Amino acid sequence: MTQTFMPSFKSMDEIYDVQLEGLKWTVKHAYNGSPVYRKKLDEAGVGPDGIKSLDDLKKLPFTTAQDLQEGYPFPLLSVPFEKVVRIHASSGTTGKRKVLCYTQKDIEDWAHFFARCYEMAELTKEDRVQIAVGYGVWTAGVGFQLACEKFGAMAIPAGPGNLDMQCQFLVDFQSTVMCCTASMGLLMAEEINRRGLRDKINLKKMIFGSERSSDAMRKRIKELLGLEHMFDIPGMTELYGPGTGLDCVHHTGIHYWADYYILEILDPETLEEVPEGQTGEMVVTTLCKEAVPLIRYRTRDLSRLVPGQCPCGSIFPRHDRILGRSDDMIIFRAVNIYPGQIDHVLSGIEGIGSEYQIILDRAPDGKDYMTVKVERDQGVESSRDKKLQEKIAAEIKKQIMVSANVEIVDYGSLPRSERKSKRVFDNRE
Ligand code: ZN
């Protein structure tokens, strides 16, 4: 029998059993191991044996990025130091860096479920994986690397950047898979074409980490390289690192490893569960993480659960790509809206560019109005504006259930920035 990293579960009920056992263990372990968790749990009135069913998850207190920052440098540590074998840290773009400790078992668990990602992407031991992500204190490089070796494919630890070397490796080593950010994927695709290397390489798949890839970007990469598949790999340092799930070859959403963590999708305002299929904040609870277990950790990332069964038959549930950050949420006429949702609507419409702005105003009668400014795409005639306007307004109404005024502006007229562009202008008091 071929080696598999997939569990033998046949039903969600079996996964729920694992989740209940894992949740009981996690609460007890965190309570006994970490004074910070003990205090939080005591305040919530949950003792070390307070979990009787999965519904008890709702009794548990939330953990936030602030908890991690306040405990700097080794926050929420729940094992003695002698059990810690490694640390990783987030890049620390907001405030202090988040540092996470790992035990040997944490490292092994991570490599095991990350190896699943390669299996989900239908790699074999014959594959040669060019790992063009950052190595260092962050989790990316070493995560991709260990899991690739565990899976049994050949790892090429190239690191990021250095297009010259990347191209050379693709030609000389005949890499079949490349792991990188989507922006790097696009740079590579353009470079390979510019150098006329497409017939000299053997690249079949790309796995994109860490950054949201727009549909337009993916389409262009696929065309330029003639790839079979592109996958999105989610992951954050707090939750081991990359590899916590992967979309399968049907690309209907990201199958996530529900036997290692519980994913809740909550309304970031009320912290209540949203109906299945609706967008909300991803809140995660780990089931066997030793050094720094997470109890209802608010990731601030937005996504939604994908209802129904995937054609691939995998038992693992799916979540959508990351649709943005909950800090960016707008409340408009009592509807929660995320800029990522507007992004998503616009990316499905031909004839417009990728830049847009959302402007919110309050009229003297107290009513709120939303204007969405969108650039006409390069080479598109302004005579199409009216049709585009109607189409965009109709799609926003259909997909987000709000009415917006749409304005089409000239290509290149909205400001661009190397960093994240400001897209939301809220002029309501
Ligand atoms: Zn699937």
Ligand 1 centroid from CA 89, angstroms: 31
Statement to judge: residues 219 and 230 lie in one domain = yes
The token pair that represents 317 in the structure block: 């549930």
Statement to judge: residues 417 and 286 lie in one domain = no
Residue 303 scores a pLDDT above 80: yes
Statement to judge: residues 335 and 268 lie in one domain = no
Instruction: Please tell me whether the peptide bond between 268 and the residue prior to it is cis, using omega within 30 degrees of 0.
Output: no
pLDDT at 1: 54
pLDDT tens string 57-95 = 999 999 999 999 899 999 999 999 999 999 999 876 556
Q: How far is CA 168 from CA 130, 160, 164, 179, in A?
A: 11, 14, 6, 16
Please, what is the average pLDDT of the chain?
92
Q: Domain of 380: which CATH number?
A: 3.30.300.30
What percent of the chain is modeled with pLDDT above 90? 72
Statement to judge: residues 266 and 340 lie in one domain = no
pLDDT tens string 26-67 = 999 999 999 999 999 999 999 999 999 999 999 999 999 999
Q: Domain of 241: which CATH number?
A: 3.40.50.12780
Q: pLDDT: is 394 or 335 the higher one?
A: 394
Q: Are 295 and 311 in contact (CB under 8 A)?
A: no
What is the domain extent for residue 362? 329-426
> Where among 327, 342, 360 does a domain terminate?
327
pLDDT at 78: 98
Ligand 1 centroid from CA 245, angstroms: 11
How many independent structural domains does the chain possess? 2
Instruction: Please tell me whether the peptide bond between 73 and the residue prior to it is cis, using omega within 30 degrees of 0.
Output: yes
Q: How confident is the model at residue 347 (pLDDT cuts 50, 70, 90)?
A: confident
Residue 196 scores a pLDDT above 90: yes
Mean pLDDT is lowest, of 7-21, 275-289, 338-352, for: 338-352
- Return the CA Rg of the chain: 23
Statement to judge: residues 140 and 237 lie in one domain = yes
- pLDDT, mean of residues 242-247: 96
Residue 192 scores a pLDDT above 70: yes
Tokens 């920035």 -> residue: 417
Statement to judge: residues 264 and 408 lie in one domain = no
Q: pLDDT: is 347 or 421 the higher one?
A: 347
> Where among 327, 353, 373 does a domain terminate?
327
Ligand 1 centroid from CA 120, angstroms: 8
- pLDDT, mean of residues 135-151: 94
Ligand 1 centroid from CA 55, angstroms: 27
pLDDT tens string 381-422 = 999 999 999 999 999 999 888 999 999 999 888 877 655 567
Q: Which of 289, 402, 268, 418 is nearest to 342 (CA)?
A: 402
Beta partners for 241?
Answer: none
Residue 207 scores a pLDDT above 90: yes
Q: How confident is the model at residue 96 (pLDDT cuts 50, 70, 90)?
A: confident
Statement to judge: residues 57 and 89 lie in one domain = yes
Ligand 1 centroid from CA 253, angstroms: 7
Ligand 1 centroid from CA 248, angstroms: 5
What percent of the chain is modeled with pLDDT above 70? 96
- pLDDT, mean of residues 240-262: 97
SS3 298: strand
Ligand 1 centroid from CA 347, angstroms: 23
Q: Which of 228, 233, 234 is nearest to 250 (CA)?
A: 228
Q: Which of 167, 228, 169 is nearest to 194 (CA)?
A: 167
Q: How far is it, in rounded angstroms, from Cα 428 to Cα 365? A: 12
Ligand 1 centroid from CA 242, angstroms: 19
Ligand 1 centroid from CA 310, angstroms: 5
Q: How far is it, in rounded angstroms, from Cα 420 to Cα 413? A: 17
- pLDDT, mean of residues 233-241: 94
Q: How many CA atoms lie within 13 A of 162 on its CB side?
A: 14
Ligand 1 centroid from CA 180, angstroms: 22
Statement to judge: residues 297 and 403 lie in one domain = no
- pLDDT, mean of residues 279-308: 96
Statement to judge: residues 378 and 389 lie in one domain = yes
Ligand 1 centroid from CA 254, angstroms: 8
Q: How confident is the model at residue 194 (pLDDT cuts 50, 70, 90)?
A: very high
Statement to judge: residues 372 and 232 lie in one domain = no
Statement to judge: residues 180 and 143 lie in one domain = yes
pLDDT tens string 217-234 = 788 899 899 999 999 999
Ligand 1 centroid from CA 345, angstroms: 24
Q: How far is it, in rounded angstroms, from Cα 372 to Cα 206? A: 33
Ligand 1 centroid from CA 21, angstroms: 26
Statement to judge: residues 320 and 335 lie in one domain = no
Ligand 1 centroid from CA 154, angstroms: 25
Q: How far is it, in rounded angstroms, from Cα 322 to Cα 188? A: 23
Ligand 1 centroid from CA 312, angstroms: 4
Ligand 1 centroid from CA 216, angstroms: 23
pLDDT at 417: 60
Phi first, then psi, for residue 14 (nearest 5°) are: -65, -40
Ligand 1 centroid from CA 246, angstroms: 9
pLDDT at 421: 62
Residue 366 scores a pLDDT above 90: no
> Where among 327, 343, 366 does a domain terminate?
327
Ligand 1 centroid from CA 317, angstroms: 9
Residue 141 scores a pLDDT above 60: yes
pLDDT at 212: 64
Ligand 1 centroid from CA 313, angstroms: 6
Phi first, then psi, for residue 428 (nearest 5°) are: -80, 120
Burial 350-365 (b: 16+ CB within 10 A, else e): ebbbbbbbbbbeeeee
Residue 242 scores a pLDDT above 80: yes
Q: How far is it, in rounded angstroms, from Cα 40 to Cα 62? A: 9
Q: How confident is the model at residue 343 (pLDDT cuts 50, 70, 90)?
A: confident
pLDDT at 84: 98
- pLDDT, mean of residues 206-213: 79
Ligand 1 centroid from CA 279, angstroms: 20
pLDDT at 395: 94
